[in-house]
Amino acid sequence: MISLDVHSPEGLFRSLHRTLRITSLYLWHTNRPPYRSVSPDRVCSPPPHLHLILDDLNMHHPLADPLRSLTDKVYSLSATYFDAAFDALNHLLNTPGIYSHFPFDTICRPSVLDLAFANSPPSPFIYCWDTPLPSTGSDQVSIIVTLQPPAIMLPPPTSTWALIDWSSARNDILNFSIPPSPTLTTSNPLARWFDISSTHLTTLLLLHAPNKRPSPHSKPWLSQHLTSLRRDYHTMSKRSHQQPSPINRDNMKSTRRSYVTTLR
């Protein structure tokens, strides 16, 4: 486990935060609890500044690998670390189902062993988590976490639910079934069953919902009312230039005043 602190006296990412801690760690198996070389509280202890955690946990969890079948023992082990991460206000950056480990043998299936977490302060600065690089010759792929200031951050893609192709999704929806509920109503089996069921349903809908990426110049705060006022102002401004008259000039000033007042 190693940590690197990046410090800027002028603030990082155009914010008041001056320090970013990047922690990289590798957990190997042990025979004693917590059965990993680093305990959950050390992995996810909240620092007083920005924190980005890049780790190889050597464990599986449905939030990172929703299509993988897990035993109660495997889930209980990974849930201990994930719960500790969420209790410390960390967020998982991995895209669910994107594999990071590809075994050389044909017996084991690909999996998600490399995880990335960020605490609440740097979340607005995280642009994407991706694996676009070619193979390095290892059984694990390279991962890129892109950070950039919110001022120049592109709007994230969103699912356009109104444009779902229901005809192609119909068969998948009819064939969808919730896994059987656990026989033991303890917290771990119920939590595992709920996470798997919810993730399967969400993944199914996302497969048939086209993504919409807003323009980098789009303004999420611009309402329909502001759009109408701006259109009226530009119309009257153009008319006052093409047809100069006291009435058109007054109309242009009036629409501009209404638009600027509402904008503020």
Tell me the per-residue pLDDT of 151-200, one tens digit each, with 9 for 90 and over. Answer: 555 566 677 777 887 888 888 888 888 888 887 767 778 888 888 888 88
- Judged on CB neighbours under 10 Å (0-12, 13-18, 19+), 189 is middle
Residues for the chain: how many in total? 264
- The DSSP H or E segment spanning 236 is helix 224-242
pLDDT band at 62 (very low <50, low <70, confident <90, very high): confident
Contacts of 229 (CB under 8 A, 6+ apart): 255, 258, 259, 262
Return the pLDDT at 156. Answer: 64
Average pLDDT over residues 90-100: 86
116 forms bridges with which residues in the sheet? 54
Average pLDDT over residues 21-36: 82
pLDDT band at 220 (very low <50, low <70, confident <90, very high): low
2-26 burial: b if 16+ Cβ within 10 Å, else e: eeeeeeeeeebbebeeeebbebebe
Return the pLDDT at 264. Answer: 61
Helices (H) and strands (E) in the chain, counts: 6, 9
pLDDT higher than 60, residue 41: yes
Q: What fold is seen in the domain 2-153?
A: Deoxyribonuclease I; Chain A (3.60.10)
pLDDT higher than 80, residue 85: yes
Return the pLDDT at 40. Answer: 83
User: Is this model's pTM higher than 0.85 or not?
Assistant: no
Helix 166-175 and helix 187-208, axial crossing angle in degrees, nearest 10: 160
Return the pLDDT at 25. Answer: 86
Domain ranges in the chain are 2-153, 155-217, 224-263
